[in-house]
Structure 1
């Protein structure tokens, strides 16, 4: 199977047809008929296909909640509404907008574009305090002295994970499971040791970190 898609559509006839077509194209699909549990089901998904006209919470509200929970996960909105106002409102939170009726091959093509775009690291530098981070090139420059900072593979993956969730508090469990691909065991000091080494390399003063913040009792955060 390829990427995992969260599909939210209350029309069972349309939904069944779309799910079959997506699975034929090697996608794994989580299909919901309302947005009530959308945030809970977002875990492990690479993209969201979201219908605007839903029972209960409308697609705009669901989309806002999903973007807050997973800002890096692209959203493709579906709607029978064709007015420019609806499209503008949809595109304020979604990454693409497709009007019904649509051909399933067009849906697949748009999904592929969004997934490709979201998986490509930006070639532009991200500026974090005194650091310039070039994710595509695996390079970090200290702008105070112009020198490149060398990180180990695990250190780089931890830092990139935090940067991809810039401003968000990420728990030890989330970081560990993303970087090591294993469940975090309470009391394991491995991540804490890597964070200490990261701070020694990245911070102006490791004893007073500005880049990687500890949020006591919760986890870590990088703020831009």
Structure 2
């Protein structure tokens, strides 16, 4: 699959150069002359090249908005500004900063690094459970891969799942799970956790009566299998 770049650059000469060089190296490039519409387009790309001096909204404003929409997508700032305070301001939200004039080979090398980091982070942030469940830790979502639909969890169900994930493949006493999730002492005989685990299984397990993801250890607690 082609690596996809969103390039936001109002200088025609530089924009043409970047687009040409990247496409020669196998990238797919969408080029915008301003930040208008960028928030909608960023979700379709692997990385952003962003000029600071843009018509209308400046690159700093555009970049911060893009990070709000898609925090995981890396941004490389491209600018003629070399002052240290500009770089520091830019790196508050951007992932790299390249000053003009630049060499296309260096620009491409930096993009490759950002994309590798991004894909590695995505891999770590997505956890497979069983054959059909994917938990996206960055987006805080649970997806059924068979239907591609999102599984909606309650707040407590989500906290239980995260706690089990943090301690995956470990047998956890029910008292420990309860106190971590509810932040209060467990009372012997309380069925609250039992009921929540049951609801969670109905949403996650292919066969809740024979669970493969969240196992019960009678008289002890539960274990999440990864």
Q: TM-score range by the shorter chain?
A: 0.5 to 0.7
In structure 1, the partner of 2:139 is 165
In structure 2, the partner of 1:153 is 131
CA–CA distance in structure 1, aligned partners of residues 116 and 33 of structure 2: 27
Gap runs ≥5 in structure 2: 163-192, 204-226
Paired residue total: 166
Change beyond 3 A, Cα 1:32–1:195? same
1:31 equivalenced with 2:31 (yes/no):
yes
Secondary structure at the counterpart of residue 120 of structure 1: helix
CA–CA distance in structure 2, aligned partners of residues 135 and 61 of structure 1: 27
Question: Could you give the per-residue CA deviations for residues 67-94 of structure 1, whole angstroms, max 9, x where no partner exists?
Answer: 0000000000000000000000000010
In structure 1, the partner of 2:96 is 96
TM-score, normalised by the number of residues in structure 1: 0.64
Question: What is the deviation of 1:135?
Answer: 5.3
Question: What is the deviation of 1:44?
Answer: 1.5
The structure with the largest alpha-carbon Rg is 2
TM-score, normalised by the number of residues in structure 2: 0.64
In structure 2, the partner of 1:130 is none
Q: Which runs of 4+ in 1 moved over 2 A?
A: 199-209
Secondary structure at the counterpart of residue 18 of structure 1: helix
Secondary structure at the counterpart of residue 44 of structure 2: coil
Question: Could you give the per-residue CA deviations for residues 51-82 of structure 1, whole angstroms, max 9, x where no partner exists?
Answer: 00000000000001000000000000000000
Change beyond 3 A, Cα 1:65–1:19? same
CA–CA distance in structure 2, aligned partners of residues 152 and 101 of structure 1: 51
Change beyond 3 A, Cα 1:64–1:121? closer
In structure 1, the partner of 2:60 is 60
